[in-house]
Structures are given as C-alpha cells and as structure tokens.
Amino acid sequence: MIKKTTAIAAMMLLAMGAKAQNPFVQTWCTSDPAPMVHNGTMYVYTGHDEDGADFFWMQEWRVYSTQDMVNWQDHGSPLALESFSWADDRAWASQTIERDGKFYWYICAHSKLSGGMAIGVAVADSPTGPFKDALGKPLFENGSWDHIDPTVMIDDDGQAWLMWGNPQVYYLKLNRDMISYEGELGKLPMTEEAFGGPMMKEREKGKKYKDSYVEGPWLTKRNGTYQLLYAAGGVPEHISYSTAPSPLGPWKYAGEIMPLCDTNSFTNHCGVADYKGHSYFFYHTGKLPQGGGFGRSVAVEEFKYNADGSFPTIMPTDAGVKPVAVFNPYRKVEAETMAFSKGVKTEQNDEVGVYVSDIHNGDYIKLQNVAFANKYPRTFTARVASGLRGGQIEIHLDSIGGRCLGTLNVPGTGGWEKWQTITVDLDYSTITDIDAPTRTISGLNLPATADVYLVFKGRKGPKLFNFDWWEMRGLEQMNMPLFQTKYTADPSPLVVGDT
C-alpha cells in the first residue's frame, strides 16, 4: 500500500509539473503568502507547515523570490521561533515591509511570557536577512489568543498601520521607527455592514448573514480607497474584502474575491501585489500530493482590477501565471531556483547557504522560459557533493524525456557537504558554422526559449547527491577567439595523430 501511494503521488507530481505553476513551491509545505516588491524583485514570505503534521505545528518562516514570476529562488528560513527568546510555538502568518532601507518582518507566535499569542517584529538590512528580533520582547501581547496574522501598510502620508486578529480586527498606529506605536490598541467595529455579518458570538439565531470576518487580514490601498482582504465565512474559509475611506473606517463589506473552491485546504490566506505592470493574488491550497489542511502550499493568480478599482472573482488554477521575463542560464544559478520540481528538498548551512538535497533517481528540477538567444550552451557546470555513490544530471529540453543536451557525472566526493565543481561539454553537433568576427552561430537547431529539465539519475532507492549551483557557458564565451594573447589570422589546420 505504501509503495502504491508513493507511486500515485509521483505520477500526480509529474502530471502537475508538465503544465502547472501552482503550487509554486513543491520542496516544502508553505502557507500564508505575503508578497513584497523591492528593487525589481518579487519576494514572498511564507509560513512552513511541517511534513505529516496533524495541526499547525509551525516552527519557522521562509522567503522566496522571483524576477519572472515562474522561476522562484528559495532563500531558506532566515527567521524562526528561536529568533525570539519569548516565543515557543506556532510560527503563524506574517508580513514584511521596507522602510528607510530596513526590512521589518511582523510575525505572530505563542508567547511563553503571557501564555497567549503575541505580535513580534524582526528587522534586517536585506529582504532575505539575516533578521533579528528588533525588541527582545513582543511588540504587543496581553495574554489573549486573538493576536494572530499581522498585516502592515505605510500610507501615503507616511503613517504606518498594523492590523491583525481572529475573530476581532485590532490595529496600532506605528511610529516612524516601525517598532513602537502611538496610542492604545484599537478595535474595528465588527458589524454586519462592515464585514457581512457580526462575530459568531454576536449573531442572531436563525438569521442568515452575507458573510463574516474570520482571520488573516491584508490591508492595502487603491485609488484612495482602503481595502481589507481576509479569510471569511468560517470553516472552510473563502476570501472576501471590505472597503473604507480611512483605515479606521467606516468599513463596508464589498463581497467575495475567491469563493469556496476545491483547494484541499479548509483555511485560506491571501496577499496582493503589483509587479511589472501585472496584478497578482497570492493564496494557499493543500494541493501537493501529500498536502492538506495542515500541509498547505502557496499559489498565485494574475488578475485585473475592475474599472472602479474593485476586485473581480478570482478562481484557483493549477496553471498559475505566465512568465513576465526570460530566464538567463549563462550565469551562476542557485540550484534551489526552480519553476517546478519533483522529489527534492532544500537545506541550508552557514557555508553555502541554501542547496538542493534529498535527490533520488528520477527526481527533477524544471526551469521555465529559459532564453538561449543567439548563444549555444557549450558547457554545463555544477557544484555538487555526495557521501557515497553520486549519480548523473541530465539536461533536457521541454520535458524530462526531451532532447538531451548532455549528462554531467557526479562522483562520490567523500561527504554530503564536501563540494566539488564539475564541468561537462554539451552536445553542439548541430552547429554548421561559426563566424568569428561577428560571433554568429549558424545551424543551432535550438529554440530561442525553452523549458529546461535537470533530471537526476542513479541507483534506485538511495539518496544520490546534494546540489548547490549550476552554470551554462555559451560557445562564444568559451573559446572565441581561440587565442587572446596575440592577434592571429588566416588559420591553417593540420592534424597529426591525435593533435
């Protein structure tokens, strides 16, 4: 039965990878996506559901980034419960924002000081960390379990607002330093007009309501109107929103955004962001092969606002979004950058940072919309480590069984973190002519863009190797011109034996 279940899960993932973008992280279960755009890069901060969990036993937060919306780099976990001396459990939803060159990551966690949930804040000089507790204590706690899922926004006038809560929406006016606040804790009126229905404990028996706020608020502003998105309706949750002329209201229920759908998750949590002229809606599902309500996975959809700035209905898809840029392979690429994967995990250490692990025979990494342009990939280099037997990395185009450009043999390196850098020549037999002065290559028989699959092969069963980074080099990068120390002309080749 175990073998049959594993085989079915593998087939599901293969089918998903052939055409899917969602969920866009497959190496770990991730939840509660919080997007942030900075310096031309889209970052998404997530929670991390433990594999096989039977509750929201969450220990850390993770970061992913992209510049094309399809190939995502895993930056690992720069923040965990251990980052906060006062926290001991439940690393739930969070959001990060930049101000004055620093990045503030607002989190919630169980506090061993008060015995309830608390709001904390970490700070860093980079969007990927390292982050540290900005205060050494919670930003806010009072022993209540209501204090979960913070959202933060800096208004046009510079005022920063922090909101959170289940089943009540709380708010604070943050000071310019982003780690202290002005005034007292505020509460939004949880009325039927504001959220489609009052809190459950205040509902009239037998009366039917449009909706109700539950948790996971996301505060944003568009065309002068404030929008508060949130998980709604109870269990299972859908996504709804309300609008207001001010963060303090009066709030007015505006309707559903993502109705109840077959997401295989009884919770949902959203965030929205504009990037490179497109609008994106992030949410989570339970659609990984072994996922579910406690094993969630982040996903994204592109959408267009209605003419009046309101949200359209957004439905979850497996296809996800289209690329907004091409991917350049002629550079050092972190192996944990991928559009889709099967079987692999990621780990991190102080020496190399994040790397791909748990590689077995038949696993793969897919890169989408890779641009070969007018170059031909001449070599493939990878940094790898293997405790024992090694394996192979096959470079295929457009599918795991597509045209193979070459195979890199990975030896046993003497340890799972004893790294070696290995290069293999790729097949360039289709080239018919190379014009040295212009570096123009004819007869490439290679598409301008293609999906690239790095397919891992080796003995069946055991772990094969770890994978840190890879790089392609074009033919013209390798040996054109052949000699760089002197000007040379009029070549006259002569073969003698093997020379």
Residue 174 tokens read as 């943050």
The pLDDT of residue 438 is above 80 = no
Question: Could you give the CA distance from residue 25 to residue 230 in angstroms, rounded to a whole number?
Answer: 23
Please provide the average confidence, as pLDDT, over all residues in the chain: 92
If one compares 114 and 485, the residue with the highest pLDDT of the two is 114
Handedness of CA 21, 23, 26, 30 (dihedral sign): positive
pLDDT at 498: 84
Given 3-state DSSP classes, what are the helix, strand and coil percentages for the chain, each rounded to the nearest 5? 5, 45, 50
**What is each CA distance from 89 to 57, 59, 60, 96, 110, in whole angstroms?**
7, 7, 10, 20, 5
Residue 465 tokens read as 């190797």
pLDDT digits over 262-302, tens only?
999 999 999 999 999 999 999 999 999 989 999 999 999 99
Per-residue pLDDT averaged across 329-352, rounded?
97
pLDDT at 1: 42
Residue 132 pLDDT grade (very low, low, confident, very high; cuts 50, 70, 90):
very high
Specify the range with the lowest mean pLDDT, choosing from 340-349, 396-405, 434-443. Answer: 434-443
Residue 429 pLDDT grade (very low, low, confident, very high; cuts 50, 70, 90):
low
Nearest to 55 by CA among 237, 299, 295: 295
pLDDT at 265: 98
Residue 20 pLDDT grade (very low, low, confident, very high; cuts 50, 70, 90):
confident
pLDDT at 474: 84
Question: Is 282:33 a contact under the CB 8 Å cutoff?
Answer: yes
Strand order in the sheet with 238-244: 213-222, 225-232, 238-244, 252-258
Per-residue pLDDT averaged across 476-498, rounded?
75
pLDDT digits over 98-127, tens only?
999 999 999 999 999 999 999 999 999 999
Cβ burial, residue 472 (10 Å; 0-12/13-18/19+): buried
Which residues, in sequence order, are bridge partners of residue 420?
384
The pLDDT of residue 403 is above 70 = yes
pLDDT at 149: 98
Residue 9 pLDDT grade (very low, low, confident, very high; cuts 50, 70, 90):
very low
Specify the range with the lowest mean pLDDT, choosing from 32-36, 241-245, 435-439. Answer: 435-439
**What is each CA distance from 471 to 148, 334, 353, 423, 429, in whole angstroms?**
42, 9, 17, 9, 20
pLDDT at 200: 86
**Collapsing DSSP states into helix, strand and coil, what is residue 429?**
coil
Question: Could you give the CA distance from residue 376 to residue 392 in angstroms, rounded to a whole number?
Answer: 22
Question: Could you give the CA distance from residue 185 to residue 195 in angstroms, rounded to a whole number?
Answer: 20
Per-residue pLDDT averaged across 248-271, rounded?
97
pLDDT at 376: 78
> Dihedrals φ, ψ of 80, to 5°?
-145, 175
The pLDDT of residue 480 is above 90 = no
Residue 10 pLDDT grade (very low, low, confident, very high; cuts 50, 70, 90):
very low
pLDDT at 2: 42
Residue 6 pLDDT grade (very low, low, confident, very high; cuts 50, 70, 90):
very low
Site of tokens 């392609």 = 472
pLDDT at 439: 45
- Dihedral (C-alpha) 22, 27, 32, 34: value to the nearest 10 degrees? -80
Q: What is the pTM of this model?
A: 0.91
The pLDDT of residue 214 is above 90 = yes
Contacts of 486 (CB under 8 A, 6+ apart): none
**Collapsing DSSP states into helix, strand and coil, what is residue 159?**
coil
Site of tokens 């037998």 = 206
